[in-house]
Structure 1
Amino acid sequence: MTTPPGAHLPDHPTFLWRNPEPRKSYDVVIVGGGGHGLATAHYLARNHGITNVAVLERGWLAGGNMARNTTLIRSNYLWDESAGIYEHALKLWEGLEDDLDYPILFSQRGVLNLAHSLQDVRDSVRRVEANRLNGIDAEWVSPEQVKEICPIVNISDDIRYPVLGATYQPRAGIAKHDYVAWGFARQADAAGIDIIQNCEVTGFVTDGDKVTAVATTRGEIATGQVALCAAGHTSTLTDRLGIRTPLQSHPLQALVSELLEPIHPTIVMSNAVHVYVSQAHKGELVMGAGIDSYNGYGQRGAFHIIERQMAAAVELFPVFARAHLLRTWAGIVDVCPDASPIVGRTPYQNVYLNAGWGTGGFKVTPGLGWCLADTIANDRLHELIEPFSLDRFITGALVDEHGAAGVAH
């Protein structure tokens, strides 16, 4: 890492990157300092040599959904289009520590997606076969094999939702989300990219079908290209540009337990009982469920979601019945009608949209950054994001991943 002259670099994230004042203009302005914005900046520099770039973050770096996700990484999606971008991301995850020269605690412990009905079984086997056709590691496992992989799962046949089997992706895993953000930020900063915190975008200056500047709480910044990577707040930005998007923002809750000894060796997801559980590196159980049904920008949610989530977790894992809840939180996720993202061009020639990842944004972080950087640098859509353009809602070429997305993950 290149350290600014005279700077001291202790082992604290505050000092891993500069905190510069915004310049008057940049070649590229990225709106959103979360994982996607930082990864896009990193790959603009690393892959394309583009460093006259600003990443604008309304609050503190990676303090939105990046700080509020549940760290799951997998690529076992149903459709070819989804499998393509998520598998590209997973391959990048497998070498990301070396690329960033920073520990991200990437742990490939596998993911089980449980089936609880005959329809679950049919859908799951179909997805396994689709994954195999796309070269993705996936297998169907019996209830007994589920127990071998994760001994604490309840596979009794006298419970409300008995386990009839599961899909299993061995290469899936988790990573430490804040370390991922710090690693990308550190490398982008070392390349000369400005990461500007506490800089909210309040509007845009346009000239015909181009955006010439962004208005911010820290002044107006001229730009040649703009990338919108603001997750749950994306629609507030597109509204200011007069761009209609089929996005809905919802609270998404998650929680962690008290610290426990290592007991949960993998990740277990269940759409039927609506919960997923993994164990963090420090020992907390990390649990999530579905989104709250109402629209909003509040980073909080309704208690009944947590209540149902805990009931489901205890049914699947009776050993956790006496575990204490330590902390809950919520993020703001942007959801599309087909549960797939919107990435690509907008009606403005120099504005690129990256939104609608719903509950799956963290796992695609390096893959999206790679492809969006390539799109910006070459002014043409990377082939892996081409299917997710905004105009699919006009043509009807939707990528419906509701079945594979399931619970928040």
Structure 2
Amino acid sequence: MTSTSFDVEKIRKDFPVFSRELPDGRPLVYLDSGNSSQKPNQVIETMREHLALHYSNVGRAMHVLGAESTDAYEGARDKIAGFVGAPSRDEVIFTKNASEALNLLAYSFGNPANTDPRFTLGPGDEIVISEMEHHSNIVPWQLLAQRTGATLKWFGVTDEGRLDYDPALITERTKIVSIAHQSNVLGTVNPVAEVAARAHEVGALIALDASQSVPHHPVDMTELGADFVAFTGHKMVGPSGIGVLWGRAELLESMPPFLGGGEMIEAVWMDHSTYAPIPHKFEAGTPPIVEAIGLGAAVDYLTEVGLDAIEAHERELTAYALEALREVPTLRVIGPETLEGRGATVSFTLEGIHPHDVGQILDDQFGVAVRVGHHCARPLHLRFGIPATTRASFYLYNTTGEIDALVRGLHHVQKVFA
């Protein structure tokens, strides 16, 4: 069973990994795209061709290869800006991943080099996050609170896996609110417009970790209402080693550099330096050139397939999975059990069976690749009183037949531990 308007078998042919067999001739059932997605030929070949025929450093070599490489690198920035509806290409900052993007942002708050009062942070000021965050959206803010004496606060999570949103938590003392657009464990899509409106009402800024949403749903920076958005390439059929921080231009212009070195400068003297305009102010040294070009190719691929079509396909898969998993005795879904306000990530526990055992049996005997552990979201698991979960996450190349394979594997796991 697959969508009649979505040719998933044609899409799967674009991904060479699905042509391989696992040991003992088992087919690969890859249900771990929330961790990292597989890569299509179009991305692989674009990167291979650039390395083979066009590679040079960017922004500094006055020859044909330098021009070609710079054009391809900056062309990728244009593609990504268009993909996420950024008002300006200069608002797209290349980082090595979403973690670096969020650390870059946190570095600006309370930094004496930043005199913008919106970034001034000290004792009595507040940082607001949530209990469902990935560690990448917790630890940088913990470090910022330790560095400045500010207070770290957070929204809780309901028993159903929804954000326990209380607008009163955001006060006149709040300087930054940073939450996930979509949870990497629960699949929950948060009410970011409502949170952003409240943050702006009190003069605070708002950042979103959109690593789990940009690959799966149409996202427009002008419509989200956020001031900053971080996402990563390897979850959106692109390569690892490349991520993005989008920010409103006037905010980025007021922020000090995160790293110093070549290419981010305007001029250097022995006692001081001036800095390049955005985006290059934040891209010190030789950047991940081929990775950025690969991300541009990933954006081309996702655009050709269509984010609306991908989202509809994933909703079918998620609805099918939520229904099929109900057949598995003692299985408990951690997160929303309906399609409303959720994405294509389903985490669960099996009573009396550790997720590590679940994952190993699924892999060894059924070729089903899922993620097990706390998924870099330990506080969320502590909130639910569990050490770990098993997570199945779906993408454009998955089928309902693969969900059937997951369910068969889970029934077998229960027999093993009966």
TM-score by length of 1: 0.25
Q: Identify, as 1 or 2, the structure richer in strand.
A: 1
Structure number with greater Rg is: 2
TM-score by length of 2: 0.25
Q: Identify, as 1 or 2, the structure richer in helix.
A: 2
